[in-house]
Amino acid sequence: MPDLRFSEAEPSDAERLAVDGVVAELGAVVVVEGERLVYAGRARTAERRHLLLPALHAIQRTSGWISPGGLDYACRQLEVPPAEAYGVATFYHLFTHEPPEATDVVHVCDDIACRPPGALGLIDELRAAGHNVKASPCLGQCERGPAVLVQRTGDHDLTIAPGSVDGVAVAISGRTSAASVTLPQAGSPGLRLLARVGVVDPGSLDDYRANGGYRALDAAISMGPDRIIEEVSTSGLSGRGGAAFPTGVKWRGVADQQGRPRHVVCNADESEPGTFKDRVVMEGDPFSLVEAMTIAGIAVGAEQGWVYIRGEYPVATHRLRMAIDQARAAGLLGADVAGSGKRFDIDLRSGAGAYICGEETALFNSIEGFRGEPRNKPPFPTTHGLFGEPTAINNVETLLNVPAIMLDGGEAYRATGTDRSPGTRLFCLSGRVAHPGTYEHEFGITLRGVLDAAGGVVGADEPHAVLLGGAAGFFVRSEQLDLPLTLEDTRAAGVSLGSGVVMVFGEEDDMVDTVRRVAEFFRDESCGQCVPCRVGTVRQEEVLARLRDGATLDDEVELLDDLAAVMRDASICGLGQTASGAIRSALDLGLLEGAR
Amino acid sequence: MNDVPVSAPRRPVELTIDGGTVRVPEGSTILDACRQEGIDTPTLCWAENLTPVNVCRVCVVEVENSRVLVPSCSRWVEDGMVVSTDSEKVRTSRRMVYELLASSVDLDRADAEVHAWMEHYGADPGRMGDRADIATVEQPPKLQDDLYVRDYERCILCYKCVEACGEDAQFTFAIATAGRGFDAHISTEFDVSLPDSACVYCGNCIGVCPTGALVFKTEHDMREEGTWDEDAQSVTTTVCTFCGVGCNLELHVQDERIVKVTSPADHSVTNGHLCIKGRFGWQHAQS
C-alpha cells in the first residue's frame, strides 16, 4: 500500500463487488507495493483516478449513499486520499453522504420550465404519498414538465414526464421510464440533425445503416484527416454549446499538436435550464453521435473518445451505451475502425448532478476523478485538455452536423443558413407554446418564425416574455420577435442563442419568481471555487428575494449592478460570467415591475 | 518545489503595464512583473511557496483584448501585452471581492494588508445587508486536540491549507475542499476529527493561512484570554536541533514563552514548511 492513510470503515460485500466491477470493466489497477505519492507517484495516479467517479456511482447505486466503508474501499483500490474522494463525492447533487431515508429518491424538477405546469404542487403530492422527494434543478424534460427522476437503490433510474403520483407509482412497479417524445416536426423533409429521430430503431445498428448510417464514416476514411478538417472548416460549422467557436479551427489545432495521446470528448452534459435537444437525439438516434465522434477521432488523430453525459438522462445513457457496444462488436470502434487501420474507441462517463461540469475544463476534471472545478484558461483544451493532453471537445449538436458535411461537402453545408451562420440549429421550445419540443430550423429564421412553427403562443397573440438561450442567456420581449436567430444578429442585439432555449412566458406567469429561481439556480450550481461567483450568486439571490418581499428596486439596483460586474469580469468561468445576464435583462425590460 | 534551477537563461519579454514598458524574463507572471516595477498588487490565495490556484480573484488586472479580467498571479506575460492594474473595472472587481468576503467571513484576524487594501478600495461590506439577514459562514471553532484550532468562520477558502497539506509540501492529503458553492468548505473525509484523519500535525496549514482560521492552540487560547499581543513578541531565528536537515525556525516569544513557531517562506531548506517536531516540539524549552 502506498503512503496514504485510510480509515477503518468496512465496506459491505455488495460495495466491494460494485467497486471491483467498475475496475474490471473500465481499467486494470496496478498498485505497486510501497509506492509513495510523494515521489511522482501522483502522475501515475492518473491511470486509475478516473475510475473514481464510476466507482462512486457504483457505491451510490448499491447502497443508496456513499457510505464511509464504500468510500474507503474505493480509495484503497484506486489509491485516492479519502479526504479528496469525500470532496469529490460531496460535489455532486446525485450522491448522498448520509444513510438514505428510502430506497428511492424522487427528484422533482422545480426549475423555471417546470414551475408553471405545477412542479411545486407535485412535490407536495408526492411527499404526501410518502415518497422521499428532493427538489431538483432542470432535469432536461422541459417540453413535458413537471419532470421527475427516480433514483433507485440497486436498480436503474427512471424518468417520468410529465410526472404525477400515479405515473411515479406505475414507473417504479414496471421499472420503465416514460417513452421518448415524438418530434413535432417528425417526417418533415428539411430535417438533417433530426432526420432519423423517431424513424429508426435506436437499438439497431442494422436499421441505422439501412437509413443511411455509417456512409459518412466511409466517406471520411477515404478522405483522410486533412480533407475532413478542410471540409469542416469550409462548412463554417461553429460550436453549438454556446461559445460558437469554429469547429474546423479547433480540430486543426488538435491535429497539429505533437503530443499524444489525444482525445475527442463529447460534451453531453446538457444541463442549461430549458435545454433538452441533445437528449432527444441521443434517445432517438444514438448511433449518429457515435459515428460523428469516430469521424472526429480520425480527423484529429485521437485514439480515445469520451462521452460525458449528464447523470439525469437514464434513457439516453442506456441507448448510447448500447450503440457504443454494438458499434464495437461490428468493428466500427476498436483497434481497426471499419477496416481503416485506425484505432478509436469510446468510453461513456456519467455526470452526477452538476451543471458546472458542462464547462469544458470542469468536465475534464470530473472525468479525471477530481472536483468539477473549472480550470483557468489559458492553456486551452487544444493543448492541455483531458489528462493535460491535446483534446478536441465538442457539444453533441456540433458533432451531429459532421456526417452531412462528410457526405455533401463543406460548400453545400455552407449554402444553408446565413452567410455567417451556416447550417441548421436545434431549438428547445417550452412554456406557453402550442406544441413544445425540439425543432430544427435553418439559421436565419426569426423568433416569430420559431414560435409560429411551434403552433404559436398559447392564449395570446404574443408572448409576455421569452427566455432565449437558457439561464445563461437573456429575456426578450415582443419587440424582438422579428430578430433573426443567427449568431451575428443575436450578438448585435446583445443577446445570445446559447443552447437554443426558447422558453415562453405568458401574462399569467410570475416573472419575479421566475427571475429569482434563475438566481437560485446559479447559487446552487456555483462550484464554489472563486469568490465572485461563490458569494456573488448568493448575494444576487438575496437581492431578488428582497425585491420579491417588497424592497424597492431603486435601493438595490446599484448593488445588483456591482454584483453583475464582479461576476462577469472576475469569475473564472462562464457560469459566473453569465450568472447575471438573464436577471439584468429582466430588469431592463421591466419584467420585475411587478415587484413592489 | 525543491528543484535546483538549471534551466538556460530566460528570454526577456516586453510588455506594458499602466503605460510603462516593462521587461521581465519569459515565464514570469504578470504579478512578478508588477512587483518588479513596484506596483503594489493585493493577493489572498497566492503565496510564494505554493502553486497559484487563482481562486480569490483579488489580484485581477485588465489585459487589452481580453473580454474578462485575468488573474495576475497565474497569467504568464506575453510580448506586447498591455496591462492595466488600476482601471475602473479592476477597482470595482477588487473592491467587490473584498466586500463579498468580508460580508460572509470574519476577517478580524486577517493579515494587516487585507485591511489596508479594503480601505484603499473603499470596501463597504455592510451594504450587502444586515449580517443577521444574509448568508455567512458563521460557526463555532473546532477544538479537537492540543495543537490546532480550526475556526472556519474565518475561512475565505483560499485553498492554501489544502495545497500545503497535499502536493505543495506535506503529501498527507488530510484535508480537501468538500461540498459545493457557498457550502464548499475545508474538511476531512466525512468530517472526522483531525486526530482520526490522516493529519500528521506538521502545522503547515497554519503556516499558510492568511486569515487566522487555522491557528496554534496557544495563540487561540491567548486571544481568548486577551493576552495575545504581537507588539510584545520578539522573533528569534534559529536552526531546528531535532535532525540534521537544518530547517530554519523563527521562534515567536512573548513574556519569555514561545507562543508559535514559523519558518521563512524563502528559506532554501523549508520553503516555509516544517514538520511536527520543528513546529511543536518546543514545550520542553519552557517546562
Instruction: Determine contact, residues A100/A64, Cβ cutoff 8 Å.
Output: yes
Q: In Å, how far are A14, A40, A260, A268, A526 from B234, measured between CA atoms?
A: 59, 40, 55, 59, 44
CB contacts of A537 in chain B (<8 Å) are 181-182
Q: Where in chain A is the domain with CATH 3.40.30.10?
A: 104-174
ipTM of the complex: 0.95
Find the helix or strand (DSSP H, E) in which A227 lies: helix A215-235
The parts of chain B modelled with pLDDT lower than 70 are 1-7
Q: CA B130, CA A3: separation in Å to the nearest integer? A: 48
State mean pLDDT over A389-411. 97
Mutate to test the interface with B, among A569, A575, A578 (most CBs of B within 10 A): A569
CB contacts of A371 in chain B (<8 Å) are 177
SS3 (DSSP) at A77 = helix
Torsion-angle region of residue A64: left (phi > 0), alpha (psi -120 to 50) or beta?
Answer: left
Residue given cell 507562543 in the structure block: B259
Inter-chain residue contact B180 with A91, CB threshold 8 Å: yes
Sheet with A424-431: list strands edge to edge. Answer: A437-442, A424-431, A501-505, A465-468, A474-476
Q: CA A47, CA A355: separation in Å to the nearest integer? A: 26
State the fold for domain A416-505. Ubiquitin-like (UB roll) (3.10.20)
Chain B nearest C-alpha distance from A570 (Å): 5
Residue-wise DSSP of A357-414: GGSHHHHHHHHHTS--PPPPSSSPTTTS-GGGS-EEEEEHHHHHTHHHHHHH-HHHHH
Q: CA A408, CA A413: separation in Å to the nearest integer? A: 7
* CA terminus-to-terminus distance, chain B: 36
Inter-chain residue contact A527 with B74, CB threshold 8 Å: no
Q: CA A234, CA A251: separation in Å to the nearest integer? A: 13
Q: CA A516, CA A421: separation in Å to the nearest integer? A: 33
Among the four given CATH numbers 3.10.129.10, 3.90.79.10, 3.40.30.10, 1.10.3470.10, the one describing domain A104-174: 3.40.30.10
pLDDT at A596: 40
pLDDT at A37: 56
Q: Where in chain A is the domain with CATH 3.40.50.11540?
A: 205-413
pLDDT band (50, 70, 90) for residue A1: very low
Torsion-angle region of residue B203: left (phi > 0), alpha (psi -120 to 50) or beta?
Answer: left
CB contacts of B188 in chain A (<8 Å) are 82-83, 86
CA-based torsion, B169, B173, B175, B180: positive or negative? positive
Q: CA A406, CA A408: separation in Å to the nearest integer? A: 6
Please name the residues between 108 and 127 in chain B that touch chain A, using a CB distance below 8 Å.
127
Closest Cα to residue A265, out of A339, A352, A365? A365
Inter-chain residue contact B103 with A539, CB threshold 8 Å: yes
What chain B holds in terms of domains, given with CATH numbers, is 1-136 (3.10.20.740), 148-286 (2.20.25.90)
pLDDT at A445: 97
Closest Cα to residue A280, out of A172, A195, A164, A392? A195
Inter-chain residue contact B182 with A534, CB threshold 8 Å: yes
pLDDT tens column, A340-365: 999 999 999 999 999 999 999 999 99
CB contacts of A534 in chain B (<8 Å) are 157, 181-182, 184
Residue given cell 483534446 in the structure block: A391
Q: Where in chain A is the domain with CATH 3.10.20.600?
A: 416-505
Q: Count CB-CB contacts under 10 A for residue B183.
A: 14
Mutate to test the interface with A, among B29, B56, B57 (most CBs of A within 10 A): B57
pLDDT at B1: 46
A536 to chain B: closest CA residue: B100
pLDDT band (50, 70, 90) for residue A404: very high
Inter-chain residue contact B173 with A542, CB threshold 8 Å: no
Letter for the amino acid at A480? Q
B95 to chain A: closest CA residue: A566
pLDDT band (50, 70, 90) for residue A44: low
State mean pLDDT over A522-542. 98
Helix axes A119-128, A165-174, angle to 10 degrees: 60
Is the CATH number 3.40.718.10 carried by domain A511-588? no
CB contacts of B71 in chain A (<8 Å) are 376
Is the CATH number 3.40.50.11540 carried by domain A205-413? yes
Q: In Å, how far are A228, A263, A264, A382 from A299, measured between CA atoms?
A: 6, 11, 10, 14
Closest Cα to residue A558, out of A575, A539, A573, A571? A539
Q: What share of chain A is helix, strand, coil (3-state, %, to 5)?
A: 45, 15, 40
Chain B nearest C-alpha distance from A571 (Å): 7
Name the grid cell of A220: 471520411
**Among candidates A7, A537, A542 on the partner chain, residue whose Cβ is nearest the Cβ of B189:** A7
Inter-chain residue contact A90 with B180, CB threshold 8 Å: yes
Least confident interval from A25-39, A299-313, A549-563, A575-589? A25-39
Instruction: Determine contact, residues A377/A56, Cβ cutoff 8 Å.
Output: no
Task: Say whether pLDDT at A405 is over 90.
Answer: yes
pLDDT at B285: 83
Mutate to test the interface with A, among B69, B100, B202 (most CBs of A within 10 A): B100
pLDDT at B284: 84
Please name the residues between 48 and 107 in chain B that touch chain A, using a CB distance below 8 Å.
54-58, 60, 68-69, 71, 74-75, 89, 92-93, 96-97, 100-101, 103-104
Q: CA B155, CA B165: separation in Å to the nearest integer? A: 16
Task: Say whether pLDDT at A457 is over 80.
Answer: yes
Name the grid cell of A369: 476523478
CA-based torsion, B26, B30, B31, B35: positive or negative? positive
